[in-house]
Amino acid sequence: EATRGRNDDRTVIVATGDLFASAQQWSRAGFFYRQAFQQSQVSAIYQRYLDALMNATPANLPEAEAVLARLNDRVDREPGLLMARAWILQRRGRAEDAARDIQAALRRIDAGNVAEVQSWAGQFRRILPEPQPAIDTLTLLKRGVENPDWLDYLIAVTSAERPEGAETAISILRRLASASSLAPVREVSLRSLGLTLYGLNRFEEAAAVMADGVRRSPQDWELNNNLAFVLARHLNRPQEALAYAQRAAELAPSRAETLDTLGVVQMENGLLREAEQSLRRALEASESVVTRFAVLVHLADATLRTNTPEARAQALRHLDAAKALMDAAPPNAIPRPSVEDYEELRGKIGSP
Written as tens digits, the pLDDT of the chain (352 aa) is 544 544 558 899 999 999 999 888 999 999 999 999 999 999 899 999 999 999 999 999 999 999 999 998 899 999 999 999 999 999 999 999 999 999 999 999 998 899 999 999 999 999 999 999 999 999 999 998 889 999 999 999 999 999 999 999 999 999 999 999 999 999 999 999 999 999 999 999 999 999 999 999 999 999 999 999 999 999 999 999 999 999 999 999 999 999 999 999 999 999 999 999 999 999 999 989 999 999 999 999 999 999 999 999 999 999 999 999 999 888 888 999 999 999 999 998 876 5
pLDDT of residue 332: 87
pLDDT tens digit sequence for 270-314: 999 999 999 999 999 998 999 999 999 999 999 999 999 999 999
Cα separation of 329 and 48, whole Å? 23
Residue 77 makes CB contacts below 8 A (sequence gap 6+) with 108
Cα separation of 224 and 214, whole Å? 6
Q: Report the predicted TM-score, pTM, of the whole model to 2 decimal places.
A: 0.85
pLDDT of residue 352: 58
pLDDT tens digit sequence for 13-25: 999 999 999 888 9
Contact 266, 276 (CB under 8 A): no
Helix segments in the chain, DSSP class H: 10-22, 26-39, 43-55, 61-70, 72-75, 79-91, 95-107, 114-127, 131-141, 149-159, 166-179, 183-199, 203-216, 221-233, 238-251, 256-268, 272-285, 289-305, 311-328, 336-349
Cα separation of 100 and 117, whole Å? 17
pLDDT of residue 2: 47
Please count the other Cβ atoms lying within 10 Å of the Cβ belonging to residue 187: 19
Contact 218, 228 (CB under 8 A): no
pLDDT of residue 52: 96
SS3 state of residue 108: coil
